[in-house]
Structure 1
Amino acid sequence: MELTHDELAGVVDLFGALTRDELTEAGDELAFKRGADFDGENIETALAAYRLVAFDPDGVVEQSGDEQLVAAGPTAFPTLPDGAEDLPHILDVEPRTPDRAALGGVVEGRFRADAARAVRDDDRERIERLLDVSYDLETWAPVELDGVRDRLDAAAGGSGA
């Protein structure tokens, strides 16, 4: 069983943030109810698409820890898959509330690195996608991306960086 990116974001959103292992366990629980196996490979593609964002917990959530967490990202439209409303009763996970400004700073750093890589590699498809993500990211968190968006826009138009 595969969960869509937005369903993965919906599951994560139930708790505020989850470790990848906790998200995989949630997917396993949902799959078990359907008599299927959970295919967690979609987690990585959801991260690449900014539907989910990964971050170190220190400074972003009150509970500290060593494991990276994932939260619903700026391009997500969190949707609860069938049976997800039972997950808070099944999983032994305390809700976490990421600080949106701190999380936005983490995602902004990743976005700037992705944009620089896309421009350097002249990856037109990724450049176009990142232009769209830039607007979502600015709406989702208190970040300013005008300069990097100008660079992406110039690269998309073929005039270079």
Structure 2
Amino acid sequence: MDLTGDDFAGVVDVFGALTRAELGEACVELAFKRGEDAEAAAFDDGIDDALAGYHLVRVADHGADADDPLLVVGPAAFPRLPEGAEDLPHIMDVPDRIISDEAVARAAEERFREDAVVAVEAGDDDRIADLLDVSYDLEAWGPVELGEARTRLDDAG
């Protein structure tokens, strides 16, 4: 079962926030509903791609007593609900979670700044172009200011 970043975002959106393990479990449940046998690890690369593309954002500092960071819908996502995903809250026992918009925006901004440094140092023009696009999405999505980072990316690209 192939899922896009928007599909992963749709699954997360059904719950509001999921740990990575919970997202993997949700994907296994979706595969099962489609008559496919899959293990959570089969979705690791797709989840990594969704994180790299800012379809998902990892929030470690979410103020809850949790060992795992939570994944939330990111600024580049257009969440799409995969077939059968609407039943997941009835299948899985996932606690209700409330994460402040500030914590989510801060996590996304920190990740963006780290990614920008790596892309500039590597001279990765494709990643720099992707991050420039994401910077506008991120500013529209949350209370962050990325003008200075965008200028550095522009100068490097």
* Bin of the TM-score, shorter chain as denominator length: over 0.9
Structure 2: segments with no counterpart, 5+ residues: none
Measure, in 1, the Cα distance between the counterparts of 2:9 and 2:62: 21
Task: Give the residue type in structure 2 aligned to 1:54.
Answer: R
Map of 1:10 onto structure 2 = 10
Aligned partners of 1:57 and 1:65 also within 8 Å: no
How many residues are treated as equivalent by the alignment? 153
Map of 1:34 onto structure 2 = 34
Measure, in 2, the Cα distance between the counterparts of 1:142 and 1:126: 23
| TM-score in terms of structure 2 length | 0.92
**What's the C-alpha RMSD, in Å, of the aligned pairs?**
1.2
Aligned partners of 2:62 and 2:100 also within 8 Å: no
Map of 1:159 onto structure 2 = none
Measure, in 2, the Cα distance between the counterparts of 1:54 and 1:102: 10
Measure, in 2, the Cα distance between the counterparts of 1:101 and 1:142: 7
Where 1:70 maps in the other structure, the secondary structure is: strand
Measure, in 2, the Cα distance between the counterparts of 1:51 and 1:37: 25
Structure 1: segments with no counterpart, 5+ residues: 157-161
Map of 2:116 onto structure 1 = 115
Measure, in 1, the Cα distance between the counterparts of 2:21 and 2:156: 38
Aligned partners of 1:57 and 1:67 also within 8 Å: no
How much has 1:97 moved relative to structure 2? 2.8
1:6-155 to structure 2, matched below 5 A, reads 6-38=6-38, 39-40=42-43, 41-59=45-63, 63-155=64-156
How much has 1:24 moved relative to structure 2? 0.8
Aligned partners of 1:57 and 1:64 also within 8 Å: no
Measure, in 2, the Cα distance between the counterparts of 1:135 and 1:16: 23
How much has 1:93 moved relative to structure 2? 0.6
Task: Give the residue type in structure 1 aligned to 2:50.
Answer: A
Measure, in 2, the Cα distance between the counterparts of 1:17 and 1:10: 11
How much has 1:64 moved relative to structure 2? 2.2
Aligned partners of 1:31 and 1:37 also within 8 Å: yes
The structure whose residues are more often helix, as a share, is: 2
